[in-house]
Amino acid sequence: MNGTILELSDIHKHYTNGDATVRALDGVSLVIGRGEFVAIMGQSGSGKSTLMNIIGCLDRPTSGSYRVLGKEAAYLSADDLAALRRETFGFVFQRYNLLATATAGENVEIPSVYAGLPKQKRSQRASALLQRLGLGERIQHRPAELSGGQQQRVAIARALVNDPLVILADEPTGALDSRSGDEVLALLKQLHAEGRTIILITHEENVARHAGRIVRIQDGHIVEDSGPAAIGRPETDSDALRAGSNGVSFSASLQEALVAAWRSLRVNLFRTVLTLLGIIIGVAAVVAMLAVGEGSRQKVLDRITSFGTNLMVVRPGAAGIRAAGDIATLVPDDAIAIRGLPNVELALPERSSRMTVRHGNRDYQTSIQGTGQDFPRARDWPVADGQFFSAEDVRAYAPVVVLGRTVAKTIFPEGGSPVGKYVLLKNVPFLVIGVMTEKGASPMGGDQDDVIFVPINTGLVRLFGKKYLSSITVKVSDTADIEATQERIENLLRARHRTEDFSVRNMASFLQAAMETQDTFTLLLGTVAAISLLVGGIGVMNIMLVSVVERTREIGIRMATGARMRDILLQFNIEAAVVCAAGGLVGIAVGVAAGMVLRYSGMSVVFSVAPAVLAFACASATGLIFGYLPARKAARLDPVIALASE
């Protein structure tokens, strides 16, 4: 037939519920021509909605053939059906089915978004349509602020926005009072008069009366068809208007997805914040913890390198064994012997203890460090006043001390040089022969000037009451030869002790051991942080799954108005990604703030870009990965089922 647009032949739709099969449509054949106004009449349960869903390509028949403009539509893919819907049909539902969170204008625009119309044209068209339907003042209103009749007119505007061939209205007046119902019917008649094809589904005789052709359906069969009748004014070719509906641009659908994501996140603000919190905590943890890890690493590194790479330390006890108490192996003579080896610049015997120093009526607890005459040279730490003790002082057990700056200031507060005065240690008078320059805080934060130096022999005999050293620090002349020198020291001590009861470590090995510990530490922190990020991601997935269930109807509406699976997938993925990316940004800020607080409280914290970038990337990836499953669930929903959901 000329002008035929829809052609159903022997369409069956069966629902199987356990054993029972419901034949909602049982062999329906129907031909609808361009410009017709058809009313499909029938009692509740007769199969009207099922028929409309098949005509509107929202659902597929169980069997039979359905042609739209000569093209077989019954077995198209989901996305091809979406395209066909978008281009051919405008839907008007009994319950309006507007998106509650979008304004009237935005609701009208939705089908044109999926048709790829540019933003400006969309809003122009939407406002023109709303104007025409008497809702010019209501463009910015949300559905909840509109009456039922107004909502239905918004729905009709939405059905018209893509300028479809066919308007499908399923009981459009069913939920309206009679006056609003009459307005809607008048509107449909007017659209018919303009040449549009209208299919109206109703169970009311007085509604059906308005149509030019009445098809009665009962128990899935067509029982009466008044046949093609008065066709409205021949259609002005509207195909030109439909231009652009094929090239659905990705950016338009991306934009809509972003807007929709933003809207839904804003509507569920509390939930969004809670979800965000999970990501924020995760990202902040990564940033702060890695900064702490890096800070501690730097600190250890500084401490070790500030010590000098040309130094070696000989300790009592075999390598790896840290015995408690006094290890009786290293003696001052060992230091003297080591000093005689080639490439050894100096060897400092050391032992220290905490003790009270007294001057006049002032008592002060400090660290007493027994060492050799080479100490200022070894540590690059000169004397400010007086002099350091000599080799002779060490050999002769001289009762002399050199004060650190802090000690000097504390026990000689009246100022003036302490050199030449006496202090008491264990009630023994010691002559102050020098004061060190100020060294300041150690990389660990301790006060390096809070110390008194005594010749090692004097210290061992008169103060510590022990014969053994806690370490010998060795400085080599040529760092390149440090390994060989270390070997020589080991051989020498082995010969002297007749056993390997000591260990020698150079800075390189210190550094390596320390860095290994540090790396483990950082890895541990990083793992904890990564786990919290994972937990945050699972939270996002959980919320997105809930969101999909809650918004099934919205998904149905979007699909009915032409959204493809891809669009729905994109929308939900973007929603998750937006949450995670926002959480990532805030998390970085919170992490930096937390790091600042820790730094302020004296911890060493070093921020680097990599953890922040990594955490942000992880958060965004989390959004995509954990958003994918819910998004896929949403996209796979059957439009009919989605629309039917409450």
Interaction partner, residue 47 (Mg ion, ligand ADP, none; CB < 5-8 Å by kind): ligand ADP
Q: Are 614 and 301 in contact (CB under 8 A)?
A: no
Query: Which of residues 97 and 471 has its CB atom nearest to ligand ADP in the complex?
Result: 97
Which residue in the shown chain puts its C-beta closest to Mg ion? 49
Smallest distance, ligand ADP to C-beta of residue 44, A? 4
Exposure b/e, 598-616, CB count within 10 A at least 16 = b: bbeeeebbbbeeebbebbb
Interaction partner, residue 107 (ligand ADP, Mg ion, none; CB < 5-8 Å by kind): none
Q: How many Å apart are CA 522 and CA 603, to the nearest integer?
A: 15
Query: Which of residues 48 and 558 has its CB atom nearest to ligand ADP in the complex?
Result: 48
Q: How many Å apart are CA 293 and CA 123, to the nearest integer?
A: 53
**Residue 521: closest CA among 294, 285, 284, 303:** 294
**In 457-508, where do the E strands start and end?**
471-476, 502-506
Q: How many Å apart are CA 32 and CA 575, to the nearest integer?
A: 41
Smallest distance, ligand ADP to C-beta of residue 181, A? 18
Query: Which of residues 117 and 201 has its CB atom nearest to Mg ion in the complex?
Result: 201
Q: How many Å apart are CA 492 and CA 501, to the nearest integer?
A: 12
Smallest distance, ligand ADP to C-beta of residue 45, A? 4
Smallest distance, Mg ion to C-beta of residue 537, A? 42
Smallest distance, Mg ion to C-beta of residue 79, A? 26
Name the residue type at position 227.
G
Query: Which of residues 3 and 45 has its CB atom nearest to Mg ion in the complex?
Result: 45
CA angle 636, 638, 644 (to 5 degrees): 135
The first and second tokens of residue 373, run together, are 């005459």
Residue given tokens 């939705």 in the structure block = 110
Smallest distance, ligand ADP to C-beta of residue 47, A? 4
Interaction partner, residue 457 (Mg ion, ligand ADP, none; CB < 5-8 Å by kind): none
Interaction partner, residue 485 (ligand ADP, Mg ion, none; CB < 5-8 Å by kind): none
Smallest distance, ligand ADP to C-beta of residue 550, A? 21
Interaction partner, residue 625 (ligand ADP, Mg ion, none; CB < 5-8 Å by kind): none
The number of beta carbons lying within 10 Å of the beta carbon of residue 325 is 5
Query: Which of residues 24 and 130 has its CB atom nearest to ligand ADP in the complex?
Result: 24
Q: Compute the chain's Rg from CA coordinates.
A: 44
Which positions touch Mg ion (CB under 5 A)?
Answer: 49
- Helix 269-307 vs helix 609-635: crossing angle, to nearest 10: 150
Q: Are 348 and 363 in contact (CB under 8 A)?
A: no
Query: Which of residues 50 and 253 has its CB atom nearest to ligand ADP in the complex?
Result: 50
Query: Which of residues 47 and 295 has its CB atom nearest to ligand ADP in the complex?
Result: 47
Smallest distance, ligand ADP to C-beta of residue 644, A? 7
Query: Which of residues 40 and 581 has its CB atom nearest to ligand ADP in the complex?
Result: 40
The first and second tokens of residue 297, run together, are 């690493």
Smallest distance, ligand ADP to C-beta of residue 12, A? 12
Q: How many Å apart are CA 205 and CA 42, to the nearest integer?
A: 9
Annotate 545-570 with DSSP letters as a single string: HHHHHHTHHHHHHHHHTT--HHHHHH
Interaction partner, residue 45 (Mg ion, ligand ADP, none; CB < 5-8 Å by kind): ligand ADP
Query: Which of residues 107 and 552 has its CB atom nearest to ligand ADP in the complex?
Result: 552
Query: Which of residues 61 and 584 has its CB atom nearest to ligand ADP in the complex?
Result: 61
Smallest distance, Mg ion to C-beta of residue 266, A? 34
Q: How many Å apart are CA 276 and CA 279, to the nearest integer?
A: 5
Which positions touch ligand ADP (CB under 6 A)?
Answer: 15, 17, 22, 24, 42, 44-50
**Residue 264: closest CA among 155, 106, 86:** 106
Smallest distance, Mg ion to C-beta of residue 201, A? 7
Interaction partner, residue 288 (ligand ADP, Mg ion, none; CB < 5-8 Å by kind): none
Query: Which of residues 48 and 192 has its CB atom nearest to ligand ADP in the complex?
Result: 48
CA angle 79, 84, 87 (to 5 degrees): 125
Q: How many Å apart are CA 627 and CA 629, to the nearest integer?
A: 6
Interaction partner, residue 22 (ligand ADP, Mg ion, none; CB < 5-8 Å by kind): ligand ADP
